[in-house]
Structure 1
Amino acid sequence: MQDTQRHTIRLEELEGGIVKLVFGNPPTNAMSIVLLEELAMTIEKLGEQEEVQIIILQSEGDRTFCSGADFTELMAIEDTMSGRIFFSGFAKVINSCRKSSKIIIGRVQGKAIGGGVGLAAATDHCFATQFAAIKLSELSIGIIPAVIEPAVERKIGLSSFSVLALKATEFFTADWAKEKGLYMEMFETTTEMDEAVLSLARSLSKYNPEALKELKRILWKNTDHWDSLLLERAEISGKLVLSNFTKETLQAFKAKNG
């Protein structure tokens, strides 16, 4: 499967072992298989570096944090194996966040859809702006948010997850996401959010690294089985994306949006 868009991953090293990990895929930061693989690998490598204390995970641009799966690549899936491989990319990113020994701070500047919601949920402490509405649109195209469900449910609970999953065409406000526990803090502007993100990162970077590592383990208790669970979920999504309903829906979307 080819990565048809120009994606980017860049690292920005700040003081005190703070590293900004910035991913991009214009115009909406959709997740291609190559971007997912590289993002998971980068998170894993940062977790192995002793000099790194805190990771700030964010995306390029001012508007959309992440629009979820790349629709062009979804349409190109022709068999269960390629479907499983594509959705396992999301599993790898979530598991790399979960298994990293570093505290990961999320920075969500705009809308998060599908896998973008899962990515926000995989961080340890997530900041957002008032524009960071969320939506799980999977059911509307014939699949389900199977891979990201454990991460999202872990933050907002099964009841709130079910509302998101069933109301697949509806955006839920950043206020709603904060109330349910996906976002820990929310701000009116990106500038205010960035100041708060950096302030927390600086504070955490001064703490005992071993204490942070142990706290991270506690925060992710009862998730050791996710390596196998998320791959099982990827297989479910990989099969559903081959359904006639999904193929026809994606074709209609392509025709409507050129």
Structure 2
Amino acid sequence: MEGTINTEIKNNIATISFFHPAGNSFPSSLLKKLSDEFKSLGNSNKISIIILKSEGTGAFCAGASFDELLAVSNLTEGSLFFSGFANVINAMRKCPKLIIGRAHGKAVGGGVGLLAACDYVFGTHSADIKLSELAIGIGPFVIEPAVTRKIGKTAMSEMTLEPTAWKQATWALEKGLFAKIYPTIDELDLNLNTYTKTLSSYNPEALSEMKKVLWEKTENWDTLLLERAAISGKLVLSDFTKKALLQFKKQ
């Protein structure tokens, strides 16, 4: 199953929901759909706010599809796969609408990158985060600029160099990845709905101009993130990574 991307528009708020049976992970096809959806909604005059969420009550996002990573057989395929996350982050960055993240559960790797690319994030106390890439022989190269922009190089380094350790949602709140966290999903949704309703009532032009300000000095990311994708695309071909991915799949 490739997974699904669904969008619901209510009043002037668009809610994008993504789903994949493997922990809401992302194969290339789903990344392409998500990137296209941000571009489409960015061009719509009917909305001023976008909410990004995943379905279910388990993980928010398990990152890249392990099955697809294992299937990579050459540098071109590897670079192309990781460019999927690069394209999504750049689509979020350039989208003129403010993007509000809803993290109901844990996020790993690329899932952390998606949250970092949001402009404001609500989470639960269960929304722990982890960057496990080094443990499987690659690194969080593509998402690093987005994560560092949110939590700083020191915190990014701490996460990256402890690839098997979960960071609690309270840590993510303290470092700035999350703006608000709540004990339950119900409380999260109640406060998220109140916040986005208020935010969407503001001048759309002011919100769009604010989005530009928030993302100043990231204009080189169109090139930078694709360069980073090539690094990951090369490393995923190593024997170390292939063996590590197989081991992770057995867990």
TM-score past 0.5 threshold: yes
Residue 87 of structure 2 aligns with which residue?
92
1:172 matches 2:167: yes
1:237 matches 2:227: no
- Residue by residue, what CA displacement relative to the aligned partner does 1:196-247 show, whole Å, maximum 9, x if unpaired? 1111111111111110011000000100010000000000000000011001
1:186 counterpart letter in structure 2? I
Residue 7 of structure 2 aligns with which residue?
11
Count of matched residue pairs: 251
Residue 137 of structure 1 aligns with which residue?
132
Aligned residue runs from structure 1 range 3-152, under 5 A = 5-15=1-11, 17-152=12-147
Q: How far, CA to CA, are the matches of 2:118 and 2:203 in structure 1?
A: 20
Contact 2:124 2:188 in 1 (8 A): yes
Q: How far, CA to CA, are the matches of 2:218 and 2:164 in structure 1?
A: 30
Shift of residue 27 of structure 1? 3.6
SS at match of 2:93: helix
Q: How far, CA to CA, are the matches of 1:133 and 1:237 in structure 2?
A: 24
Q: How far, CA to CA, are the matches of 1:51 and 1:14 in structure 2?
A: 10
The farther-off stretch of 182-191 and 5-14 is 5-14
Residue 181 of structure 1 aligns with which residue?
176
Contact 2:2 2:27 in 1 (8 A): no
Shift of residue 251 of structure 1? 2.3
Shift of residue 12 of structure 1? 1.2
Change (3 A) 1:205 1:66: same
1:157 matches 2:157: no
After superposition, the CA RMSD in angstroms is 0.8
Aligned counterpart in structure 2 of residue 253 of structure 1, from 221, 224, 248? 248
1:10 counterpart letter in structure 2? N
TM-score by length of 1: 0.96
Residue 197 of structure 2 aligns with which residue?
202
Q: How far, CA to CA, are the matches of 1:71 and 1:141 in structure 2?
A: 11
Shift of residue 253 of structure 1? 2.9
1:7 counterpart letter in structure 2? G
Q: What are the ranges of 5 or more consecutive residues in structure 1 without an aligned counterpart? A: none
Q: What are the ranges of 5 or more consecutive residues in structure 2 without an aligned counterpart? A: none
Q: How far, CA to CA, are the matches of 2:227 and 2:2 in structure 1?
A: 30
Aligned counterpart in structure 2 of residue 221 of structure 1, from 216, 219, 236? 216
Structure 1 vs Structure 2: percent identity of aligned residues? 51
Shift of residue 6 of structure 1? 3.7
Q: How far, CA to CA, are the matches of 1:212 and 1:230 in structure 2?
A: 26
Q: How far, CA to CA, are the matches of 2:122 and 2:153 in structure 1?
A: 22
TM-score by length of 2: 0.98
- Residue by residue, what CA displacement relative to the aligned partner does 1:164-212 show, whole Å, maximum 9, x if unpaired? 0000001000000000000000000111111111111111111111100
Structure 1 stretches of 4+ with a deviation exceeding 3 A read none
1:191 matches 2:186: yes
SS at match of 1:167: coil
2:216 counterpart letter in structure 1? K
